[in-house]
Amino acid sequence: MNRTQAISSPGAKHEHAPSLADVKAAQARLAGCVVRTPLVESDIPVANDRQLFHKLELCQNTGAFKLRGATNAILNLSQERRARGVITVSTGNHGRAVSYAARKEGLRAVVCMSRLVPDNKVEAIRALGADVRIHGDSQDDAAEMAEGLVRDEGMTLIPPFDHPDVMAGQGTIGLEIIEDLPDVETILVPLSGGGLAGGIAIAAKAENPDIRVIGISTKQCPAMYESVKAGRPVNVPEHESLADSLGGGIGLDNRYTFALCRELLDETLLLSETEIAAGIVHAFEAEGEVIEGAAAVGIGALLAGKVRPAGSTVVLLTGCNIDPELHRRVVAGEGPDVAERAAG
C-alpha cells in the first residue's frame, strides 16, 4: 500500500475505509436513486426448519447491486470532477452501473474496452448512453487507455470495488437487511473483489457484531479466498466460470477490501461449477427467479451443505445479467462445463 498513491488517486475523497457512518450517509444519498430491494422468504428444502430469506438485488436497476456503489461514488464527486466525467474499464455489471448512474446525473461516461469484448456487451453499455472506446486486444490495453483519459482529460476513474464510496454504497444492502430482519444471524454474500462483502460486513458488524457474514467465491477464480489464506493479496490463475461476475483479481496493490475481508468475514468458501449451476437451476425451478451465476453461489452453498444455516439467514441474490441462451442450457441440465461451451 502506498499512501501518496491513495491520496492522489482520482476520485478518492478519503484515504480510510468506510465506517458505519459512511454507509448511513450513502443510504441517505441513495434514497430515491436506487431501488430499495425486497427481502422475501425462501423455502430451500435443506433448510426447512430455518428462516431463510432472499435479498433480491436482481430487482435493482441495471439488474445488479453495483448501481449502489457507482451511484454513491458519482454523487460524491465535486462539481469540477462532475464536469469532466467518469470512466471505467468494466464491461460487466459495474460498467453498466457507471453508465446508468452517469446518465441519470447528466455526466459524461466513457467505458474503455478491448476489441475482444463481444458485440452484445458493447451494445448493452452503449444503450445506457456511455461513450464506448475500443482499444487493443486485452483488458490491460483498455486500462491503459483509461489511464490516459484520466491523465489528459481529468476524467475520474470509478473502480469496481476498492474504493470507499463504492464500498459504502454496497454496504447499504446490509442496512436494509437489518431494517427488514432485525434478528438476522447469517448473511451469505457472493465474493469477488470484496467491495460488496466488505461493505455489508462494515454495516452489519457495527450494528450487531454477532451477525455472521460469509463470502462465497468460484473455484475458477478464488482471488480473495487465496489472498485471505496467504495473508496478503495474491494473483491466481483465472478460468472461465458460470459466475463470470466473480472473475478478476483483487489487485496486488489492494488498499481496502483485502484488509476488511480478512478482518470482518467469518468465513470464505469456494464453489464448483456444478454447485453454481445447481444454484441457478434451483432459483429458477423452485422460486421462479432468473439469476446469473455470481448470484447463485449462496443458494449453491446451501444446497451443497457447505453452510448450515443457523438462525435467520439471508442469501443475497446479486444480479440477473446472464445470457438467456446460457441460462436455458443450464436449466436444461447441459452440464457444468456449459460456460466454456457458451464462450467457445
Ligand X SMILES: *Cc1c(COP(=O)(O)O)cnc(C)c1O
Q: Which residues contact ligand X (rule: CB under 6 A)?
A: 64, 66, 93, 161, 190-197, 245-246, 292, 294-295, 318-319
Q: Cβ(192)–Cβ(217) under 8 Å?
A: yes
CB 306 → ligand X: shortest distance, Å?
17
Q: How far apart are CA 223 and CA 54, in angstroms?
A: 26
Q: In the structure grid, which three cell numbers stand for residue 270, read together? A: 469456494
Query: Residue 84 or 261: which CB sits closer to ligand X?
Result: 261
State the nearest-atom distance from the C-beta of 4 to ligand X, in Å: 25
* Residue among 117 and 197 whose Cβ is closer to ligand X: 197
Which residue has its beta carbon closest to ligand X? 319
42 vs 91, beta carbon nearer ligand X: 91
CB of 281 to ligand X, least distance (A): 17
Give the helix ranges, DSSP H, for 10-110.
20-30, 66-75, 79-84, 93-105
Closer residue to ligand X, CB minimum distance, 58 or 132: 58
Residue 246 or residue 326: which is nearer to ligand X going by CB? Answer: 246
DSSP-derived pairing of the beta strands 184-190 and 312-317: parallel
Sheet holding 109-113, edge to edge: 131-134, 109-113, 86-88, 156-157
Furthest C-alpha separation in the chain: 59
* Segment holding 267, helix H or strand E: strand 267-271
Q: Least distance in Å: CB of 14 to ligand X?
A: 19
Choice between 81 and 94, CB closer to ligand X: 94
Taking the complex as a whole, how short is the minimal distance between the CB of residue 69 and ligand X, in angstroms?
8
How many residues are listed for the chain in this entry? 344
Q: How far is the CB of 292 from ligand X (least distance, A)?
A: 6
Asked if residues 41 and 284 have their Cβ atoms less than 8 Å apart, the reply is no
User: What is the rounded distance in angstroms from the CA atom of residue 292 to the CA atom of residue 243?
Assistant: 7
